[in-house]
Amino acid sequence: MNLEGRKIIVNKSSKELSELLKSPENYKDFMPDGLQKFETRDNGFKFGLQGMPEIALKIDEVDEQKAILKSASSSLDFSLTATLNPISENQTEVQMLFEGKFNPFIKMMVEKPLQNFINTLTDKIELYK
């Protein structure tokens, strides 16, 4: 299952954004309303949203072109990638891409909430100062 967020322009360099996305504690600022739990870990974080199970993510790779988060659970196989495309010295185009391997039943249950989550992350990153 692949999902895409809309492409946005962020008024930060790709270097600034990559530095921001290396720190687990910074992801709290991008979480949707209804966040009930947020815990940082060595190389990732765990969060819980109202009406959804808790999700643990590890920061797998971050550079000036991308930030890749992967599931920290062996029972779920997915990744969330933010592509960082420099437009100018102080502007970067960002797009969120989700890739997951789910059976058809799970896919049917999670596709809409995941798309909403990606849309909210995109909105929060776009408005980030």
Amino acid at 127: L
Per residue of the chain (129 residues), what is the pLDDT tens digit? 999 999 999 999 999 999 999 999 999 999 998 899 999 998 999 999 887 788 999 999 999 999 999 999 877 889 999 999 999 999 999 999 999 999 899 889 889 989 999 999 999 999 886
Find, among 127, 124, 118, the residue nearest to 55 by Cα: 118
End-to-end Cα, the chain, rounded Å: 32
The 8-class DSSP code of residue 31 comes to: S
Q: Is 123 left (phi over 0), alpha (psi -120 to 50) or beta?
A: alpha
Q: Distance (Å, rounded) from C-alpha 119 to C-alpha 125? A: 10
69 token code pair? 């988060």
Q: Greatest CA span in the chain, whole angstroms?
A: 45
Give the pair of three-digit tokens for residue 108: 């049917």
CATH code assigned at 18: 3.30.530.20
Number of domains comprising the chain:
1
pLDDT of 68 reads 98
Tokens of 55: 């999700």
Domain housing 120: 2-127
The closest alpha carbon to 2, from 123, 115, 124, belongs to 115
Q: Locate all alpha helices (DSSP H) within the chain, ordered by sequence.
A: 14-21, 104-127
Which amino acid is residue 8, in one-letter code? I
pLDDT at 16: 95
